[in-house]
Amino acid sequence: MSDFLKDPTLLRGLTSRRMGRRGMLKAAGATAAGLGLAACGVKGKAVTPAAPDAAAKFWAGKVGKGHVNFANWPLYMDPKKPELAKFTKDTGITVTYTEPINDLPTFFAKIQPQLAAHQSIGYDLMVITNGIQFKDCVELGYFAPLDHSKLVNFTKNVAPKYTQEAYDKGNVYSVPWASGITGIAYNPKYVTTPPTSLQDLKNPKYKGKVGMFSDIEEIGVFAMLAVGANPETSTPDDWHKAANWLKEQKDSGAVRKYYDQGYADALSSGDIWICQAWSGDIFQENVSNGSDLKFVVPSEGGTLWTDNMTIPITADNPVDAQTLMDFFYDPAIAASLAEYINYITPVPGAQDVIKTDAAAATGDDKAFLDSLSSSPLVFPSADDYKKLHYYRDFANAAEQHSYSAIFEPIVTS
Amino acid sequence: MTPSVMDEGAVAKSVRGRRLRARLTPYTLLFPGGIWLAIFFVVPMFAMLVLSMSPGDIVHGFTPDFSWQSFHDAYIYGIQTYQTQIIRSLIYGVVSTVLQIAIAYPIAYWLAFRAGSRKTTYLFLLLLPFFVSFVLRTQSWQFMLRDDGIVLSPLKSLHLLPQNYHVLATTTAVIGGLTYNYLPFMILPIYVALERVDPRLIEASYDLYASKIAAFRRIILPLSLPGIFAGVVITFVPVVSDYVNAQILGGTSNTMVGNVIQNQYLINQNYPVASGLSFTLMALLLIGIFAYARALGTEDVLEATAR
């Protein structure tokens, strides 16, 4: 027997119960579990409505730094960006223009964790549509309150209608970028009888060639109009009826796909023949691809939405962002933007600018500008507005959840 | 205190110190890997598990309560509402994996036994397309397979296909995309396993009057089984939870469970249901993999994948 075995400590070591590796890992796991439990859960942060001095507090001590990071949707500005070039020339403020917003829920999900942690999201100005996410941002305090004393052009030139929108009365957090109409677009190469009604989206002639939006607010409004309900005042009963309409449409094999972006491309390439569409997209697709797509507002009505310029509360350059906001309310700039994007401009004065431009232009340009200044898709009349409906405004989270639970399974089937 | 006692004490101390170190060695060696696992696997998993039992919404936050109701809302509701998508994903996974084996095995076999001195070149060529991003490649398939695209349009104008024939937005397109995208992950492990087969064994089998088929069936195939197994483990899980192919190549009835989870996280911000579905999927995949291991007769899944 060797000497070290006589060592009593070794004997104790050999005979006492040892904690195995497994045991050790289990214990470590249990400790981690305990710690984890305490740290988990995701915090929310509902804020009370903005105090009257919130804007003053936010803007105190903020100075311009000469740069703006602008986050917008695709197809929302002339790719040559003449407006931004003029802005930089006039003010010396440079702009980085990006198009990270393909659909709002996903964009919101991406910026939300950083905003919740009070970190900069890298954007100073972002375009957010009225609807669920806009409301969430307001409730969570993610938008900077605007300083109206600096919004000179806006105050002077905005259409009165746009200062009274229910989602942001008095433009506390936002000013409109553009409004648009959701209607039906079709490719006349395949669809020979112009569609007039939402029921055409169910027409067996177009089986497998119909495109719908994947956005549940968008499809919800269309389906409610199709079953004769008013989306703005709809009840859960109407939602169920509308969902049934959509289910029938899907089960009949009519729908090719539920799109977020990319439908305009699919429409001009013939993957789909008829689809739910945003007015300006179709116009731009025709301009940029030479296609001949058509857009109609269905007889049952269409959807009206407003995309709004907002400043995230954690923006690095809020002062410059606000300057850029106001710049787009110069009627000349608003007209230039509308001429390219073909969406409803919140600046009525732009119509006169376009008319003046048309008078000065000749040939094709003149014809185009003439049709633009009288286009109901850019300058809708009061009668046109009557046919258009906003998304359902949800009173609370529970209501919104039950709406999602009804429509979401249709889109993800 | 005599010098001898002091010596004895010092010796005991140093022995104890050494033994302590010896006992701690395995843990010390385990430490880097353990930390890695803890930070990047255990903690996120655990956070997700807790989240699945935390009712709430994005504005008011999600607070864990571990009640039966929240379990029901996350798991049972999730499974009931999206059972079609879960089952569909598993079926797509199985079909695509079987297709991958069928395609990958001959390729790997050829590479291992027939490619000769140009083996590395062929391997490189095989992997070359996969240097391009996965999403971009899938997007290019979408472009190629358009209804009036470069593949279908000529066939349609020759009246070989009916006018409204389409490949996109079908099950075939999605399974095809899945199979294509994960194919190298099946070829490589099979190739490695075949590469390691000792050619002398095959020669020996011929010496013992085995036919080519018998040699393949009784020598090569059994020796390459670990490769197939590894390939299946590596591809089946990502295929089932893939959401890109269904999104780009699929239509309204090809949504996979990955798309549902993505939607619940990013679009609905319903974190509990998303986490619940993720765990359900994970459980199903684990059951699937272990059942497969049992069926294949592999005693220990971990051992087989380590080989």
Could you give the ipTM of this predicted complex? 0.77
Nearest to A200 by CA among A298, A271, A98, A55: A298
Per-residue pLDDT at B66 exceeds 80? yes
Residue A310 pLDDT greater than 80, yes or no: yes
Torsion, Cα of A66, A138, A261, B252 (10° steps): 160
In this predicted structure, the answer to whether residue A18 has a pLDDT above a threshold of 60 is no
Task: Kindly state whether B56 is in contact with chain A, defined as any CB-CB distance less than 8 angstroms.
Answer: yes
pLDDT of A23 above 60:
no
Looking at A48-52, A54-58, B177-181, which range is the least confident one?
A48-52
CA–CA dist A403, B191 (Å, integer): 52
CB distance from A30 to chain B under 8 Å?
Answer: no
pLDDT for residue A12 = 53
CA distance B139 to chain A (A): 12
Q: What is the pLDDT of residue A298?
A: 94
**Searching chain B, which residue's CA lies closest to the CA of residue A34?**
B46
Interval A160-195: pLDDT, tens: 999 998 899 999 999 999 999 999 999 999 999 999
Residue of A nearest to B73 (CA): A405
Q: Select the residue of B169, B260, B265 nearest A412 (Cβ to Cβ).
A: B260
Best CATH choice for the domain B69-306 from the list 3.40.50.150, 3.40.50.1820, 1.10.3720.10, 1.50.10.150: 1.10.3720.10
What's the pLDDT score for residue A334?
95
Query: For residue B50, which residues of chain A lie inside 8 Å, CB to CB?
Result: 36-37, 40-41
Q: Tens digit of pLDDT for each residue in A322-366?
A: 999 999 999 999 999 999 999 999 999 999 999 999 999 888 888
Q: Is B168 on the interface with A (CB under 8 A)?
A: yes
Residue B142 has pLDDT above 70, yes or no: yes
Q: Which of A85-99, B183-197, B286-300 has the lowest mean pLDDT?
A: B286-300
Mean of pLDDT values over B179-199: 93
Strand ranges (E), B145-233: none
The H or E element spanning position B87 is helix B77-109
| B168 neighbourhood in chain A, CB within 8 Å | 271
Contact B250, B197 (CB under 8 A): no
- Kindly report, residue by residue over A190-220, the tens digit of the pLDDT: 999 999 999 999 999 999 999 999 999 999 9
Query: What are B14-40's pLDDT values in tens digits?
Result: 777 788 888 888 888 888 888 999 999
B43 to A32: CB separation less than 8 angstroms, yes or no: yes
**pLDDT for the residue numbered A47:** 64
One DSSP character per residue, B94-133 reads: HHHHHHHHHHHHHHHHIIIII-GGGHHHHHHHHHGGGGS-
Nearest to A46 by CA among A146, A138, A157: A138
- Best of B82, B245, B268, B271 to substitute, by most chain A Cβ atoms within 10 angstroms, is B268
Query: Positive or negative, the Cα torsion across B113, B117, B122, B124?
Result: positive
Across A312-321, A333-342, A394-403, B274-283, least confident range: A394-403
Interface of B with A in 88-147 (CB under 8 A): 146-147
Predicted TM-score (pTM) of this structure? 0.81
Instruction: Give the span between the Cα atoms of A388 and A369, in whole angstroms.
Output: 25
pLDDT band at A1 (very low <50, low <70, confident <90, very high): very low
Work out the percent of chain B whose per-residue pLDDT is above 90.
Answer: 60
**A120-134, A365-379, B258-272: which is most confident:** A120-134
Q: Which of B199, B198, B145 is nearest to B174 (CA)?
A: B145
Tokens found for residue B67: 């009640």
**B41 phi/psi in degrees, rounded to 5:** -130, -60
Give tens-digit pLDDT for A361-413.
Answer: 888 888 889 888 888 888 988 888 899 999 998 888 888 889 998 999 898 87
